Amino acid sequence: MMHSDRRLLLKSLTAAGMAISGAGWLPLAGAAPMPTGAAREGADDVLALTSGQLSATAPDAALNAAFATGVRSAAQTASHTALHGLDSAPFQRLGQLLGDERSTLLVGLLDDASATLVLDMVRSAGGRILSEHTHRIDGDAAAWAQALGRALALGQPAPAAPVAAGAPTRVAFRCLI
């Protein structure tokens, strides 16, 4: 579990980085609310988010690639973005998606800190969190990650996760923005 002090620090650093880069939070504040009754079938696009930590090990990179592959296998118009720490470019892209008129299905497998930031942005913009699951998995769960990506993109129940004691916490989610 992430401590509240660490979460607050990460949120503050990200907000400061976005303000400096010019993204700011203003585009998010004026985002249009989600259309009522919007369902998965109404989404124009699917965006898969993964943690793309620069120090990721080969198994972690394989886990992220497997998740993205699973999403792409289930959605015709899927794209993938890796979040690299506090790099503002992926967050700017997410801010643009939150502010446009198109419905997008957002699915992700992120570290707990990144997931907190992304889900807060989605909530602030009026997006709907359709599912959110916390897992303790290591990088050796690529087959599971691929099945998870596919299930989230299709709106199916998430497969049972292999539990790895002491492994980092990852958050899987499905949102309509």
* Backbone φ and ψ of 15, nearest 5°: -60, -45
The boundaries of the domain holding residue 26 are 4-176
Q: 134 in helix, strand or coil?
A: strand
pLDDT at 149: 94
Count of structural domains, the chain: 1
Kindly tell me if the per-residue pLDDT of 16 is higher than 80.
no
The reported pLDDT for the residue numbered 37 is: 27
Q: Give residue 85's pLDDT.
A: 67
Tell me what percent of the chain is helix, strand and coil, each rounded to the nearest 5.
45, 20, 35
Q: Distance between CA atoms of 97 and 36, rounded to whole angstroms?
A: 18
For the cut 70, the answer to whether the pLDDT of residue 6 exceeds it is no
User: Tens of pLDDT along 26-66?
Assistant: 344 444 333 332 234 456 788 888 887 555 677 778 888 89
β-strand pairing of 45-51 with 104-111:
parallel
Greater pLDDT, 119 or 14: 119
CA 17 to chain centre: 19
In the structure, what pLDDT confidence band is assigned to residue 86 with cuts at 50, 70 and 90?
A: low
Average pLDDT over residues 135-164: 88
